Structure 1
Amino acid sequence: MPCQPYSSDGNGLGKNDERDLLLEGVRAVKESQPRAFIFENVEGLLHGKHADHVAHALRILSKAGYSSEIHRINTRDYGIAQDRSRILIVGLRKGLAGAFRMPPKFPQLATNIGDALFDLMAANGWSGAED
């Protein structure tokens, strides 16, 4: 789902942004009836000014038979060479509620892009790889 409508770097127009597809995602879930779904977006999705829109989407999903949870994650906690916070809306059919658990975090695996790509940068003898 596009992040621009909820990004703090953008205008943060939320449901008033023509690029907002939150309710389209909800519609797709209602129509296809998957056992589970995940929507991913930026932290701005949880700003107070968007609360009514997010709550409306969650109500529709609940009426469609889904139990939804909101999780805040940071990619660095999973060994990704980024400091990137994200919001996940995880939904399961109500009969499966409780079957999902967020994977454990591994903060000791946190790295940076230089360390992650060092071997590739140094592979052909690039003298600046150490820097």
Structure 2
Amino acid sequence: MNGDALQEIARARAEELPAAEATRPFGPDYDVFKVMGKMFLLFTEVRGEQIVVLKADPRDSEALRQAHPNITPGYHMNKRHWISLAPGGELNGDLIRELVTESYLLVVEGLPRAQRPVDPGSFGARSGGAPSP
């Protein structure tokens, strides 16, 4: 999978999520998706390659990095709580969509209950089923 496809799959999933909005707070070279003003997804380029940066649970982050060579610590982010997805390797659309959903839900969990656009305990992958469309 190339960088364009990687970012397009992640973008399409982010656009489906309740209250998610695309912004450019760091300038025209960085697309950022936020929920209720909190970032959960960043698109950027590293050494000419388009990548996706996502929030991840630290335990999941470590396991993902061990299992997938194209998943690395978050580029210019807290390496414990963020991961980067690079093109190539065996990353597939289902995994990318799941990781975007999980990133979104981690941010939603941190919001005050009254501001949460969804219940993170029953939405998408957290409910034990497939991520919601």
Q: TM-score, normalised by structure 2?
A: 0.21
Higher RCO, 1 or 2 (CA under 8 Å, sep at least 6)? 2
More strand by share: 2
More helix by share: 1
